[in-house]
Amino acid sequence: MLFELAKIDVRKYAKQNSLLIINSGRAYFGSSIDLVSFVKSLVNYAHQIGKNGVSILADMDAFFQYDKLDHLIKYETSLPRRSDIRAKGFCLYREDDFNYLSRIQKKKLLEHRGRDLLITTTPTIK
């Protein structure tokens, strides 16, 4: 096997409020909650309980699944830059999805998000 999955006790970390897993489709399109405000509240909570900060892995696949590419660029470029919010955040794209974007769309994303974009290939599991 090329990689081995880490064994994480999700329930333990969820009970400690140290791990949140949120459906990306609902987060982007099925909720009235402003995600930036939500992240800021998580950062404040983390500091209140003595944690160093918040890390966010955001799966951007929902924009492709729901055919919302027109919203994708607007959403991504509306996000604050890393220095504007005290959280580590990464927007995750599958390589095939990212390659589907036009050259201009890719340029806009890279100019605004830069190192915070992670483009991955889907591994083959044997």
pTM for the structure as a whole:
0.75
Q: What is the mean pLDDT of each run of 10 residues along the chain (126 residues)?
A: 64 83 87 83 88 86 91 85 71 89 89 72 52
Buried b (16+ CB within 10 A) or exposed e, 80-102: eeeeebebebebbbbeebbeebe
Domain membership flag for residue 40: yes
Domain membership flag for residue 125: no
Domain membership flag for residue 97: yes
Domain membership flag for residue 60: yes
Domain membership flag for residue 4: no
Range of the domain at 101: 10-120
Domain membership flag for residue 1: no
- Overall domain count for the chain: 1
Domain membership flag for residue 2: no
Domain membership flag for residue 5: no
Element (H, E) at 93: strand 88-94
